[in-house]
Amino acid sequence: MMIVRISDDSLALALGADALAAAFTAAGASVERVSSWGMHWLEPLVEVDGIGYGPATVDDVAAILDGTSALNIGPIAQHPFIKPQQRLTFARAGRTRPLSLEDYEATGGWSGLRRAQAMSGEAVIAEVTQSGLRGRGGAGFPAGIKWNTVAKAPGDRKYVVCNADEGDSGTFADRMLMEGDPFQLIEGLAICAHAVGAQTAYIYTRSEYPHAIAKLRAAIDLAAAIIAPLHMEVREGAGAYVCGEETSLLNSIEGKRGVVRAKPPLPALEGLFGCPTVVNNVLTVAAIPHILSEGGAAEYAALGVDRSLGTKPIQLAGNIKHGGLYETAFGIRLHDLVYTIGGGTASGRPVKAVQVGGPLGAYIPPSQFDLPFDYEAYARADALIGHGGVVVLDDGADMGRLARFAMEFCAVESCGKCTPCRIGSTRGVELLDRIRAGAKVLDPVGALPQMHNAPKVARTADQDIALLEELCETMKFGSLCALGGFTPYPVLSALRHWPEDFQ
């Protein structure tokens, strides 16, 4: 019987993959549900004998089965979007059934864990350090150093926490990995727990990802005997963006408000329930099994540029023709991502800006598209790589409105712990409204008769903009965490490159 492979990733489900699968079954085909290749503009993508058809609807079933469909994209593995990629973390994407232990084992699964278990924790950490792996969540902190701190920290009880609270707009790599290859994440966590001497591992993810939660829980049950005696559990967030910040996340697992903790103490020394804790992002953890397989660390370190080593799963999103997941070594230029790989905008209109790194990332104009994907190069350009989300906007975008949205989002999502973020974001919204209204309005508080020293004339637009810049500086350097500290990036970059949108 003919085997038809269709993804059960939630993006494919959102586009009707279940109905499509049912139609193929009804037509007499045997359907296998696999992970997504990441070519999202072609989803739901149907694979028959290695040949892809997409985006398919139930009306295409008959033609796909008799091989006459015009949706034929040729051999998927040779597709120009797939072929040039360097897939380590997403090596299995599209190729395996997410909850099949058999598929996982057959594609090299658990080999990293088995090798690590035969090694001392110290030796495992040495290999992770040697690979040059840095935190893929955005901060880019070297994973080996963090693990070493936890391993050496005093205390019998230690934890591993996987930060799977992928709240950034434009990012979906964590979700795809949790849904498509959950055993890889479990294996990475088990290796980490072995290395640092932890007994419990938590995966904290968002309530907006119900499919990922269900898949992970099922996968943990299936793998329980393999990772024993390690206890692993999924914890569900409750719709607070700030819980993606590691110290908020720890409070949230403990059952508290997701308020940021001041550092020090570092979570590596005093983390979950006051115990030494490794907090790593999904993609950081998922890179571990490959690194721990024979020769993996050296192979990993050979990829990338400068101090940004290995591969980075990049998410092409927003107004882009060929959106999806693109994993490649660090160093790729934004120009290639947006135009060559992404095919430009979906609307066919000129690209105006690209936001890299989620809602807290800078807006980058086409004149800077030569920027290589590299933590330090982005930092020098006053931008961030963050979690690797690339959101493309066409010339219809209003950058002033997006800057206001960034401030408003910060105001709504601020945990309230520190003043620059809590108050600054609200004042930022007010200031942007005043600037965009273009009207000379007296500051409402300054207008009070009691405010003897307040200026009695309304600020000019230039003065308001200078004040906004000053406010952003205060938030950048005075906030406790990335939410308040990075919100100035989208605001200031929009202001710098598209001042006309603020008039």
Nearer to other proteins (CB atom), residue 108 or residue 365: 365
Strands 46-48 and 3-7, by their bridges, are antiparallel
Residue 315 found at the interface with other proteins (CB under 8 A): yes
Q: How far is the CB of 122 from other proteins (least distance, A)?
A: 28
DSSP one-letter string for 348-396: SSPEEEEEESGGGSPEE-GGGTT-BS-HHHHHHTT---TT-EEEEEETT
Helix (H) or strand (E) holding 420: helix 419-437
Nearer to other proteins (CB atom), residue 111 or residue 426: 426
Using the 8-state DSSP alphabet, how is residue 336 labeled?
Answer: I
Q: How far is the CB of 128 from other proteins (least distance, A)?
A: 27
Q: What's the one-letter identity of residue 260?
A: V
Residue 211 found at the interface with other proteins (CB under 8 A): yes
CB 328 within 8 A of CB 173: no
Phi-psi region of 306 (alpha: psi -120 to 50; beta: other; left: phi over 0): left
Tokens standing for 245? 């910040």
Residue 255 found at the interface with other proteins (CB under 8 A): yes
d(CA 390, CA 217): 29
Residue 394 found at the interface with other proteins (CB under 8 A): yes
Q: Find tokens 């970059």 and name the residue.
A: 493
Q: What is the CA angle 186-190-194, rounded to 5?
A: 170
Show the site string, 11-40: x = touches other proteins by CB under 8 A, - = not: x-xxx------------------------x
Using the 8-state DSSP alphabet, how is residue 39 labeled?
Answer: B
Q: What's the one-letter identity of residue 222?
A: L
- The piece of 73-81, 127-135, 289-297, 310-318 that touches other proteins (CB under 8 A) is 310-318
Residue 238 found at the interface with other proteins (CB under 8 A): yes
The site for other proteins, by CB under 8 A, has a size of 59
**Residue 184, SS3 per DSSP:** helix
**Residue 163, SS3 per DSSP:** strand
- The piece of 68-76, 318-326, 372-380, 470-478 that touches other proteins (CB under 8 A) is 318-326
Q: How far is the CB of 444 from other proteins (least distance, A)?
A: 27
d(CA 179, CA 282): 12
Residue 318 found at the interface with other proteins (CB under 8 A): yes
**Residue 187: which of 90, 285, 94 has the closest Cα?**
285
Kindly identify the residues of this chain, within the stretch 161-200, that bind other proteins according to CB under 8 A.
Answer: 166-172, 175, 200
Residue 316 found at the interface with other proteins (CB under 8 A): yes
Q: How far is the CB of 150 from other proteins (least distance, A)?
A: 18
d(CA 204, CA 485): 23
Provide the Cα torsion 13, 3, 22, 325; round to 10°.
Answer: 10
Residue 236 found at the interface with other proteins (CB under 8 A): yes
- The piece of 85-93, 95-103, 254-262, 370-378 that touches other proteins (CB under 8 A) is 254-262
Residue 210 found at the interface with other proteins (CB under 8 A): yes
- The piece of 61-69, 393-401, 422-430, 432-440 that touches other proteins (CB under 8 A) is 393-401
CB 219 within 8 A of CB 188: no
Residue 245 found at the interface with other proteins (CB under 8 A): no
Q: How far is CA 340 from CA 333, 337, 410, in A?
A: 10, 6, 34
- Which residues 6+ apart lie within 8 Å of 342 measured at CB? 316, 320, 321, 322, 323, 390, 392
Q: How far is the CB of 330 from other proteins (least distance, A)?
A: 21
Nearer to other proteins (CB atom), residue 85 or residue 315: 315
Q: How far is the CB of 210 from other proteins (least distance, A)?
A: 5
Using the 8-state DSSP alphabet, how is residue 272 labeled?
Answer: G
Nearer to other proteins (CB atom), residue 33 or residue 459: 33
Q: What's the one-letter identity of residue 388?
A: G
> What is the arrangement of strands in the sheet containing 351-356, beginning at the earlier edge strand?
324-329, 311-318, 389-394, 351-356, 363-364
Kindly identify the residues of this chain, within the stretch 94-153, that bind other proteins according to CB under 8 A.
Answer: none
Q: How far is the CB of 6 from other proteins (least distance, A)?
A: 16
Residue 346 found at the interface with other proteins (CB under 8 A): yes
Residue 235 found at the interface with other proteins (CB under 8 A): yes
Residue 241 found at the interface with other proteins (CB under 8 A): yes
Q: Which of 180, 359, 428, 484 binds other proteins (CB under 8 A)?
A: 359
- The piece of 73-81, 102-110, 233-241, 281-289 that touches other proteins (CB under 8 A) is 233-241
Residue 498 found at the interface with other proteins (CB under 8 A): no
Show the site string, 35-64: x = touches other proteins by CB under 8 A, - = not: -----xx-x---------------------
| Chain positions contacting other proteins, by CB under 8 A | 10-11, 13-15, 40-41, 43, 166-172, 175, 200, 207-211, 235-241, 252-259, 273, 315-320, 323-324, 346, 355, 359, 389, 391-394, 397, 402, 405, 409, 415
